[in-house]
Structure 1
Amino acid sequence: MSTATTSFFEPASVTSSGRPVLHQAEVECHLLSSVDLETEPTTTATTTIDSLDFPALKSGLGILTTHRLLWLPSNATTDSSSPISIPLSSVTHIFSPNKSIKSMFHSPRIRFQVSMHSRSFVVTLVIRGKGDIDGFLTKFWDCWRGRAWEIGNDSGGGSSSGSVPASGSVSGGGLYSSDGSVRLVGVSGILRKEQEKWESTDKSLQEAFHDLNALMRKAKEMVILAEKMRQKLLSGSSSQSSSGNDEEMGSKEEMQDWLLSVGIVSPVTKESAGAMYHQQLSRQLADFVRIPLEKAGGMINLIDIYCLFNRARGTELISPEDLLQACSLWEKFDVPVMLRKFDSGVKVIQNKSHSDEEVFARIKNLVSKPEALRSGITASDAAMTLGIAPAMAKEHLLTAESKGLLCRDISPDGFCFFINLFPEINSDDIHMVKDHGIYSLWIKSW
């Protein structure tokens, strides 16, 4: 990051797919595309800030979270700018939007005062793309006032205001109540009773939502606690892998799988991402599949990813069409994963570093063994050798067959694959057996 940028803002970390790395308990709230960051010339008692000193941050992605305002370059590979963050705790004032006639002919702007690195200056967000500007500004105000970064110091809510005192008992049908006020009768009395009923309902709703907010806070604390426990287990398992026994390691892995079911803390939603929903969903999916791919040997069925991803998102489920569209966008991004479709129609997700030649070499080594030369191999045999699911192993075997490496035998027991011996048979003398090669080994195995 350039010195000019660090003198104004804090750096922000991103994943390999370009998604921001969030802090604990931090949640994305809104996104805007094509956002410029500008500043106004400011003179204080100690410093003078000129707009020329401000780094050029043009046409980036603006992400509002509960803790920070992030700006990410639109194309990390060609843009020299680096991701930056503005903590909401450093925002001292948010200016009201300008509603003049002149502003109608310019890009919408959001101005706010920032105090960072012993200097105070005004930052302007220039929104040149399409998006819900009013919704972003409302979320900006809510996150700034909510002060989620101080959640540890959050005290319990006070009692609800606006409670209605109980009406006194009415004496013997007179015109005055027990507290001396005039009784309302007729239409006025009916309206007063309706008002009291609505006020009582409003009070009940406030108490109910207060309990719901308390429950949500507790749930968020449990998610944070589970994530801390998972990270501690991961660090502990790597340091104690040599000394720990198999039973202890198995219990740790079971605990990690249970903690993973807590899910994604800040899933991308249509409400927060807007028009960039599929783009941001694609980047988040690329980050999510990294661990399942490592466990599955570098390739996993698309259906399995659909189930795992929706399980991690909790109530924010996505449709199969959304998943396919998110995977298809990987071609436009510099991510380490890709969507692949086999000739049989099966779709899988695999690492870009995955090599079919390496897989074919291992399969050829397997079918060249004496017992495999006599009886062949099945998808289960290949799955045990490659360390992948039998369904994926079958697709690799069928692909190897299409390349001419294997031959297939179909029997009532299913598919059985053998090494392809036909390239080593001399067409001029089919009875001649070479002293070396696979064909010679096959003859000797009988």
Structure 2
Amino acid sequence: MGPTFPPGHRRTDRQGALHARPHGPGSPPRPASAPPAARGRRRLSSTRLIAPERRRGRAAEAGLLAAMDRFVWTSGLLEINETLVIQQRGVRIYDGEEKIKFDAGTLLLSTHRLIWRDQKNHECCMAIPLSQIVFIEEQAAGIGKSAKIVVHLHPAPASKEPGPFQSSKNSYIKLSFKEHGQIEFYRRLSEEMTQRRWENMPVSQSLQTNRGPQPGRIRAVGIVGIERKLEEKRKETDKNISEAFEDLSKLMVKAKEMVELSKSIANKIKEKQGDITEDETIRFKSYLLSMGIANPVTRETYGSGTQYHMQLAKQLVGILQAPLEERGGIMSLTEVYCLVNRARGMELLSPEDLVNACKMLEALKLPLRLRVFDSGVMVIELQSHKEEEMVASALETVSEKGSLTSEEFAKLVGMSVLLAKERLLLAEKMGHLCRDDSVEGLRFYPNLFMTQS
């Protein structure tokens, strides 16, 4: 006879069967175990987990309970014979079930490696060869949990390069996809594991050895690490500057050689030597002019005194006369400076030399002259440029529109705002215009006292 229990008392045995005493006289006894169908369903659900659990067990034995120590530091650059397959942002790495510091990065799959790069610190980049993977499996997303890919790994080789961890208690890692994309990534990774392309195209050994200094980035922490990183950056900057100036020096040497060559050819054309037709001569001269002046006036040729500025003034006429005629006969000295130096190529002018040369234009009776407005603005204009015509044109334009600002006037006549304002101020000085200077800006009107009287 079994043990007696108080009325309403219940107990659970080791198999999970529920026993109860009757609540009262005549009550039917409750079943001692679940129906057979229910027992069958439980066994089926547990049977589904047997194969993956066994596989995990085999991977754990093969991996010697270590996972994150498979990763090695890398530059993140693809090596020879290596091809990028797919990449996905927002991937977090778990060491087994444990969260680690690598929580937000870009995961790259190549034909040879899985590469993880930190999205904030691009210098933090590590990789694991695909040959280290035993098998992979998917883990569906849940409430508050993102989908994951579980990667089971072989033990690390004895010759493994340094990485973020020296040892770990897990035989697998999890890749958590916060921004989705795990389905396509799993498919492509499965294809690479099946094709095993890394066996057909081994990477260059010379490039693999370039990853040696990477551990220093993690070990150098604190102030010492910051100072070391700043020193490395300074050395790299110095190296880049040295290489840039070396290339610039080579370019200047080549440019001087090309200038000498163009002078030689120009002299031969001038002397009419060789079988060169007139059309070829004209075409070649146009090429030289498009590159710059064939024979620029330099201090080496004419010294640094008055003779140099006189020759420079004559050369300015040849450069500026056509552009001045196209632009209404007047240009600011800033525009002139840019135009002249662009034409001279390597033999650049200083602003002081340009001003001194422009001051000699009128004394040499050349078709150009330097003009200084009351505001101090300096311009170069043609000798044929008449002040009265300029003022009359400004008055006519302002009268047609009723009133204009210097910006509106510049847009209408097609010149710079600086020159447009000087022209309006000159017309005001001569009494043809008057101004309204308010918070909205300076606006010019026709002077009705002059026109109506």
Q: Give the TM interval when normalised to the shorter protein.
A: 0.3 to 0.5
How does the TM-score come out when normalised to structure 2?
0.37
How does the TM-score come out when normalised to structure 1?
0.37
Structure with greater contact order relative to length (CA < 8 Å, sep ≥ 6): 1
Which protein shows a greater Rg? 2
